[in-house]
Amino acid sequence: SQQGEEDPQALSIQEGENATMNCSYKTSINNLQWYRQNSGRGLVHLILIRSNEREKHSGRLRVTLDTSKKSSSLLITASRAADTASYFCATDRRGGTSYGKLTFGQGTILTVHP
């Protein structure tokens, strides 16, 4: 079963606008990670936020985590055409022997128009 669910499934914006994607999950986690996938390529790690962190920044990326609501958001500011890709959240569940075993959401397809 999919741990993460992402919203929206698809997002279309103009260059320069901000893009926000949301992820919800079901169980307690060690961390939540965001990945980008360009068409026909593998996933590229963007950012990891631990369960005891609430916000993290990396360049034009801002990630928030609300463990009480079991949700996270990824904000891409001042988007560029090169940001066009699919974005996935992945959770690393807490407990047992599940360390490092990620569960991925279904992804958000972002299209940035020049």
Please report, as ranges, the residues that interact with another protein according to CB under 8 A. Answer: 1-2, 4, 30-31, 33, 35, 40-45, 48, 50, 88, 90, 92, 97, 99-107
> For another protein, which is the closer residue by CB, 101 or 113?
101
Task: Give exposure, 99-111, as e/b (b: 16+ Cβ within 10 Å).
Answer: eeebbbbebbbbe
Task: Quote the least distance from Cβ 93 to another protein, whole Å.
Answer: 9
What is the C-alpha to C-alpha distance for residues 61 and 77, in angstroms, rounded to an integer?
7
Task: Quote the least distance from Cβ 20 to another protein, whole Å.
Answer: 19
Bridge-based pairing of strands 29-37 and 43-50 is antiparallel
Task: Quote the least distance from Cβ 72 to another protein, whole Å.
Answer: 15
Task: Quote the least distance from Cβ 23 to another protein, whole Å.
Answer: 11
**How many Å separate Cα 85 from the centre of its chain?**
12
User: Considering only CA atoms, which of 11, 61, 3 is closest in space to residue 32?
Assistant: 3
> For another protein, which is the closer residue by CB, 36 or 70?
36
